[in-house]
Amino acid sequence: MRYAYFPGCSYHGTGKEYELSTHAVAKKLGMELVTIPDWSCCGATASHGKSHLLNIALPSRNLGIAEGMGIDEVTTGCAACYQQLANANKKMIENEDLRNKVNSITGKPYKGTLKVKSIVEAIGIVDPETIKSQIVKPLTGLKVACYYGCLLVRPPEITGFDDPENPMFIDNIMKLAGAEALDWAHKTECCGASLGVSNLDVAVRMIDRILAAAVESDADCIAVACPFCHLNLDWHQKSVNRKLRKSYDIPVFYFTELLGLSMGISPDELGFKTHFTDTKKVLSVVG
Amino acid sequence: MAKRIGLFICWCGSNIGGVVDVPRVVEETKNYPGVAFATDYKYMCSEPGQNLIISKVKEHNLDRVVVASCTPMLHEPTFRKAIARAGLNPYMFDMANIREQCSWVHSNDKEAATQKAIALVKRALAKVSQVEPLFESSIPITKKALVVGAGIAGIQVALDIADSGHEVILLERESTIGGNMVKLDKTFPTMDCSACISTPKMVQAAQHPNITIMTYAELVDVQGYIGNFEVTIKQKARFVDHTICTGCGLCTEKCPTKVSSSFELGMGKRKAIYIEFPQAVPNKPVIDPDNCRYLKNGKCGICKKLCPVGAVDFEQKDELIEEKVGAIVIATGYDLIKWEEIYGEYGYGRFKDVITGLQFERLVNASGPTNGLIQRPSDGKEPKTVVFIKCVGSRDEAKAKEYCSRACCMYTAKHAHQVIEKIEGGHAYIFYMDVRTPGKAYDEFYRRTVDEGAQYIRGRVSKIYQSGDKLVVMGADTLLGSAVHIEADLVVLATAMVPTEGSEKIAQLAGVNIDKDGFFIEAHPKLRPVETMTGGVFLAGACQGPKDIPDTVSQASGAAAKVAALLSNDQMATDPMICHIDEKMCSGCLVCKEVCPYKAISEKTITERIAGQPVERIVASVNTGLCQGCGNCTVACRAGAANLKGYTNLQLLSEVDALCR
């Protein structure tokens, strides 16, 4: 399966593990990810506050380039990039006036022929037998709290591939990898996103709730699908511990890292060394 | 004979006269072919106005009349009666609406309005030149009513019709009458015990000589028309002979099979042979064939062995029974919306301690699954903190129903009161958008609950999740402008009322319409709330829209009054503006039958003599009692054999002609 691949700005920075593990896993599953040439920022969570037009134009430029690649579907890892691309795609397809206006701005006209999928959906729809055939080191005994964040499955009119209140895509992938996907209540609670940078005092309370729920559900680790969620839950555990006098020490992985691990890919190849919370505990559970 | 049309143009004070130049309209139309007399008057509908028409009809020997005034919906009957008093057939009449459709909408262009009025009058004159006398016919009436559904609405309708001297069949698909009301514990605002006030009515219905109760039976077919319905009822096999059974209850005690009880709303169990609740009417059991061991596998049969009178009969079959009735009242009631399929934020039904208001009623009810103790379904412990959430599924245009379910604000206040009264140290929190308590003594009831200590928080709940053995309710207090998190022991949702399952089928059978939410549609929301657009079919209770018990009982009596009025005649008059089939032109293709929304057309075999030989052929035949004069058939008929009296093809063509000149 070929996808036009949108890396997003964080992939080369804080989301490096996500990029490494995504590519490693995709290769194993026979998914070809062709990076969109000359891709540019999608607008993330900043652009829609500035201007609705900018918010559609920024991702549409990338869609316009992707359309010329001869591939029908676009995929991306970051949840914000996914929201931006999927939202722009829907609006560009449905609204002709908007489409014409945006195309005259971006210089990369988009006709509206593509489908946008998050990497979660792209991997989730692969035949389970294919995925299972690649699992050589099942994560038996590993209890994973799968965290979706707020942008991956809402609003359902834009995302539509999983239940907005109790999604199961990542859970199912983890189950195929042999892990125990826990039933916990904070799958889709917001982590604070960019507040983790601009207003940490607010963000730590939101992060604390998620970590507390994960710990209460007896999770060994948390699986995420977004670089900002990862940043907030992983890097900021120390901040939460400091500001709210807690003692969290729970590793946070991209689901692709865990999947890659179960496929026998080495932890170094997957980027385990670049985490902030100690990953050795998980590795010891898995063996 | 030459036509002699009387033309009367009304000023309607200044409503018409202030915009349309009425004298000029008279000038321009008084010489239209056929007009024998024309005049104008300030108020045609007044007594002097009507007397003017009557006197001029006599004076000038007029044989038909046009009044140019307001909308026919308002005064067509008035003027028809007037010319009838003058000795004319009331259908030798037409109206030109030069008010609602002219002066009122073109008040800024008097010249154009006057031109339009002239054209409209000419149209009416052309039409009335073509009208013929029409005569109402009469059909006989069966003096018996069928009430579908035996909740409090159906029971009240049946009692009132029966008291007025007519026979009633009270039909109920469950094994007992009583509906949802008998599931309740106490009723607002008096806190009367629900069973205490409804069971006397149930017994009254059972004992009334004019009422025949048929339980465990369903309506499967309706044929016929107002005054003359033929209905088919399926009496489901009970596997217990109710003519022998004494209701001793030994069978229900000994039955080994327990299944989830729908009466207990999943909170309790019943046996495979069961009586729904202790005061059921009839107080005799039925056997559930899907769960009875004997009926499924031929094993057990203990009830039959133990029955002291031998009433258990596993050989019973469903029976089809045909009845003739003159009127049908639909009183099928409500169900609660399946919230578990919609509200993932409240857990999709996975949390045992998140229940509906009706399930809460079963908990508080002394004959319920917990004998009246408020207990958490998960562990049986008494909850101390109970959170109520209103408008779950109602007033939600994003995910569920747009309408308000009307009874929930009162019953939530009632439940909060019961929590405070029955649970020592109990706390009740209610998340609300509004509090709607408009009925008699309702707002006082709500205020008392607030004074007792129920805490009303204005805001929605975005999520409920399990944390240990508590339920964390994440909501908002919009008046304070802050988030609110409550650790609850029990959460009660006030869920939307929806029409009962199977309503659609009943609507199809009876030939009535349902709205986008599935509720049966009344003939007019303000002025005809208990009738439907189908003659002879009436509505009562929550099947027409969410309502509480006082409104249900009122509406039920209203429906009964309409039925009693209908059945008080031996014959009834029918509207003569119905379809007429010219059998000479009809080819018997019966396309008209397919398009008739009132099932008024059937096929008829006629015999004609062609070349001296008798030949039989099929033509369409209109039932004058059912036909509502919609005209669908007239449009569909390719031969032009179907013609609507009062709106014939020729009349319509002459109107078009007049307007085009």
For B550-570, what is each residue's pLDDT tens digit? 999 999 999 999 999 999 998
* Residue B343 structure tokens: 């509200």
* Residue B359 structure tokens: 């399930």
Q: Which candidate from B344, B467, B472 shows the least CB-CB separation from A166? A: B344
Question: What's the mean pLDDT in A143-153?
Answer: 94
pLDDT at residue A272 tops 80: no
- CATH of region A2-120: 1.20.1050.140
| Closest chain B residue to the Cα of A213, Cα to Cα | B467
Distance (Å) of CA B317 to CA B241, B295, B427:
11, 12, 53
Per domain, the residue ranges of chain A are 2-120, 127-286
Separation CA B342–CA B332 (nearest Å): 24
pLDDT at residue A277 tops 80: no
Question: What's the mean pLDDT in A222-248?
Answer: 92
Level-2 CATH architecture, domain B336-498: 3-Layer(bba) Sandwich (3.50)
Q: pTM score, two decimals?
A: 0.82
The predicted pLDDT at position B139 comes to 80
Going through B48-171 in order, the beta strands assigned E by DSSP cover 64-69, 93-97, 137-140, 144-148, 167-171
The predicted pLDDT at position A287 comes to 59
Question: What's the mean pLDDT in B20-49?
Answer: 96
In angstroms, the first-to-last Cα distance of chain A is 32
Question: What's the mean pLDDT in B106-118?
Answer: 96
Question: What's the mean pLDDT in A19-31?
Answer: 93
> What is the overall mean pLDDT for chain A?
91
Q: Which candidate from A163, A189, A216 shows the least CB-CB separation from B344? A: A163
Residue with tokens 């001297």: B165
- What angle do helix axes A52-67 and A79-94 make, rounded to 10 degrees? 90
Strands B601-610 and B613-622: antiparallel
Level-2 CATH architecture, domain B144-333+540-567: 3-Layer(bba) Sandwich (3.50)
Closest CA to B492 of B345, B369, B365, B392: B392
pLDDT band at B126 (very low <50, low <70, confident <90, very high): very high
> Does residue A186 sit at the B interface (CB-CB below 8 Å)?
yes
pLDDT at residue A273 tops 80: no
* Residue A246 structure tokens: 């807690």
Topology (CATH) of B5-129: Rossmann fold (3.40.50)
Q: What contacts B310, CB < 8 A, 6 or more positions away?
A: B244, B304
The predicted pLDDT at position B337 comes to 98
CATH class of segment(s) A127-286: alpha beta
Separation CA B479–CA B573 (nearest Å): 60
Give residue-wise pLDDT tens across range B503-517.
999 999 999 999 999
pLDDT at residue B446 tops 70: yes
Give residue-wise pLDDT tens across range A115-147.
999 999 999 999 999 999 999 989 998 999 999
Residue of B343, B399, B463 to mutate, testing the A interface (most A Cβ within 10 Å of its Cβ): B463
Residue B629's H or E segment, with its range, is none
> Does residue A216 sit at the B interface (CB-CB below 8 Å)?
yes
The predicted pLDDT at position B1 comes to 66
Per domain, the residue ranges of chain B are 5-129, 144-333+540-567, 336-498, 579-645
SS (H, E, C) chain A: CEEEEECCHHHHCCCHHHHHHHHHHHHHCCCEEEECCCCCCCCCCCHHHHCHHHHHHHHHHHHHHHHCCCCCEEEECCHHHHHHHHHHHHHHHHCHHHHHHHHHHHCCCCCCCCEEEEHHHHHHCCCHHHHHHHCCCCCCCCEEEECCCCCCCCCCCCCCCCCCCCCCHHHHHHHHCCCEECCCCCCCCCCCCCHHHHCHHHHHHHHHHHHHHHHHCCCCEEEECCHHHHHHHHHCHHHHHHHHCCCCCCCEEEHHHHHHHHCCCCHHHHCHHHCCCCCHHHHHHHC
pLDDT at residue A97 tops 90: yes
Ordered DSSP codes for B131-147: ------EEEE---EEEE
The predicted pLDDT at position B235 comes to 98
Question: What's the mean pLDDT in B174-188?
Answer: 97
Residues of chain B with Cβ-Cβ distance to A189 below 8 Å are 463
Question: What's the mean pLDDT in A54-76?
Answer: 95
State the greatest distance between any 2 C-alpha atoms of chain A, in Å, as a whole number: 57
Separation CA B275–CA B141 (nearest Å): 38
* Residue B528 structure tokens: 């005809």
Give residue-wise pLDDT tens across range B42-80.
999 999 999 999 999 999 999 999 999 999 988 999 999
pLDDT at residue B590 tops 90: yes
pLDDT at residue B234 tops 70: yes
CB contact under 8 A, B463 and A216: no
Q: How many contacts does A have with B, using Cβ atoms within 8 A?
A: 19
* Long-range contacts from B188-191, C-beta under 8 angstroms, 24+ separation: B188/B410, B188/B411, B188/B413, B188/B414, B188/B442, B188/B445, B188/B548, B189/B410, B189/B439, B189/B440, B189/B441, B189/B442, B189/B444, B189/B445, B190/B441, B191/B414
Distance (Å) of CA B48 to CA B30, B85, B556, B616:
22, 14, 41, 57
Q: What percent of chain B has pLDDT over 70?
A: 100
> Does residue A218 sit at the B interface (CB-CB below 8 Å)?
no
pLDDT band at B614 (very low <50, low <70, confident <90, very high): very high
pLDDT at residue A286 tops 80: no
> What is the overall mean pLDDT for chain B?
95
Residues of chain B with Cβ-Cβ distance to A213 below 8 Å are 465, 467
| Phi then psi dihedrals of residue B213, to 5 deg | -90, 130
Give residue-wise pLDDT tens across range B360-402.
999 999 999 999 999 999 999 999 999 999 999 999 999 999 9
pLDDT at residue B628 tops 90: no
Same fold, B336-498 and B579-645: no
| DSSP 8-state class, residue B101 | I
Level-2 CATH architecture, domain B579-645: 2-Layer Sandwich (3.30)
Question: What's the mean pLDDT in B576-582?
Answer: 92
Which of A69-83, A178-192, B168-182 is modeled with the greatest confidence?
Answer: B168-182
| Closest chain B residue to the Cα of A186, Cα to Cα | B465
pLDDT at residue A199 tops 80: yes
pLDDT band at A12 (very low <50, low <70, confident <90, very high): confident
The predicted pLDDT at position B154 comes to 98
